[in-house]
């Protein structure tokens, strides 16, 4: 019984390493999504700033 517990303890770290590897392959897709999201947010902010600038200009020239 005691020997089987030791082998189980040895097997678990290997499984964790395997899990980390699969997490890593999944995480390679995530940065692209994050980058796309950041670009979208930046573009949205940029257009909001342009709209605000336009409103300010219209306000001063009204």
Which two tokens mark 18?
């395997």
User: What pLDDT does 56 receive?
Assistant: 80
Whole-number Cα distances in Å, 34 to 6, 38, 58: 42, 6, 36
Which two tokens mark 27?
């995480």
As a 3-state breakdown, the chain gives helix, strand, coil percent values, each rounded to 5, of 95, 0, 5
Of 9, 12, 10, nearest to 20 (Cα)?
Answer: 12
Provide mean pLDDT across the span 2-17. 54
pTM of the model: 0.41
* More confident call, 28 vs 57: 57
How far apart, in whole angstroms, are the C-alpha atoms of residue 62 and residue 49? 20
């Amino acid at each position: 019984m005691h020997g089987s517990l030791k082998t189980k303890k040895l097997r678990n770290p290997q499984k964790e390493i395997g899990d980390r590897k699969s997490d890593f392959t999944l995480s390679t897709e995530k940065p692209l999504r994050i980058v796309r999201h950041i670009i979208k947010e930046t573009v949205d902010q940029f257009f909001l700033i342009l709209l605000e600038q336009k409103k300010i200009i219209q306000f001063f020239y009204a």
